[in-house]
Amino acid sequence: MTTTQLDARSTHPPRWAIRAAHVAALVTLPSGIWRLLLAAGFTAGYTEAGYEAMGFSGWGAVYVVGLTLGGELLALLTLGLVRPWGEVLPRWIPLVGGRRPNPRAVTAAAGVGAGLLTLLLAQFAFWFAFPHPDMTPLGSTVAGILYLPLIAWGPLLAAVTIAHHRRRR
């Protein structure tokens, strides 16, 4: 198996890209913590009837925890665009550890992810425009505030992806 060392000539990411990558990794935390509270049995702003209707117990709780962990892991991948472990994959990864990933594939995957996140999460900008009868008024406001940072995830990932692409061309 061949391994790749980090090229000493490779440019470092701009400071703004490093900050944007860290912010992108953090914007998923507020909504993730809220979902974990739901999975743990707290109504977290839902009415009793609304909580029961959403099915957050049993397999619903497993789904919510999986969704939260998956989102957090995907958000952390943004850091790979500005950190050394994104330039040369860690040795512990089976089959590809110690190798340099294809920069075009990384840029394409991150670009598609940024586009999808922007399209899917833009809806949270309109959270307060619609009624949420299954939630208490305070719960609806708190949930809206906790989900609002997700709107920035796609654009932040896009900016970091562009910075990564410019460094790797």
| Average pLDDT estimate for 89-109 | 88
For the chain, where are the alpha helices, taking DSSP H only?
A: 15-26, 29-39, 48-54, 59-77, 84-87, 103-121, 137-147, 153-168
CA distance 103 to 115: 18
The pLDDT value given to residue 8: 45
User: What is the tens place of the pLDDT at every residue in 118-145?
Assistant: 999 999 999 999 999 999 999 999 999 9
Question: Which sequence spans correspond to the domains of the chain?
Answer: 15-168
Q: For the CA atoms of 31, 33, 36, 41, what is the dihedral angle to 10 degrees?
A: -100
- Is 90 or 64 the better-scoring residue by pLDDT? 64
Report yes or no on whether pTM surpasses 0.85.
yes
CA distance 12 to 18: 10
- Select from 75, 77, 110, 83 the least CA-distant residue to 13: 83
The pLDDT value given to residue 36: 95
The pLDDT value given to residue 1: 46
